[in-house]
Structure 1
Amino acid sequence: MFAGGLVLASTLIFFAVWLQRSEQIGWPHERFDEDIDQPYMKRRRRSRKRVNFLFLVSGVLVLVATLATPRNHAVWLSCWISVMLVLLTILLLAGLDALRTIRHLRHRLDNLRQKRS
């Protein structure tokens, strides 16, 4: 149980750092150069920065729960409940990000159709 907690905590922390780094340097084959894309990219970066921070918090909470002594059931339980709530929040924010992306792509396609006409 101890080793599994350490692996899970380190994986979540590494994942948060990797996602944030990838968001800063950009993803391959992703191009948002037009003026219409700038407000979307600003909102996306801010939203994904929050999600990455929540992944980091989740990893730290797993580490705290792992390092909690067996007598400290309150800390262990509160950390795991917090991890569950944080991960549910991440799912909600990811869904909102997907909706934002769909709306932006629709707006972008409409703009391209107008330029074509």
Structure 2
Amino acid sequence: MSTPTLEQVVEFLTGHADDHALDVVFDTAKARRAELARIQASTIRTGATVRTRDVRPKYMCGLTGEVSGIRTRAGRSNAEVLLDEDSSEALRRQGSGAERYALTDHETGRKMIRLPLEALELVSPER
């Protein structure tokens, strides 16, 4: 049996899939995305430029910065990300509620956040 093409899969989904088939596809896609996030997370190192994704509150998605450190505790790795000036300003504009998610680097005025590695997308490797 050959692997179906993407076009064949899309055709099946749009014209033939019932609720059960769609549930299976969504669950499989969600699991695959999680696996890809774990794989990418393993490539993130201190000094890398990253973008936040799949985080709540949603206004935290899309922020960019540099990984200043990685800490692993109880098998879970979190990155400390020093946000760039634009992302720091975007977080400031969200108001005082957003301040609870970030610390301010008093030397630069930029914001520092801590997130799981899986919530980060690699923009460019460490310098």
The TM-score with structure 2 as length reference comes to 0.25
Structure holding more helix per residue? 1
The TM-score with structure 1 as length reference comes to 0.27
Structure holding more strand per residue? 2
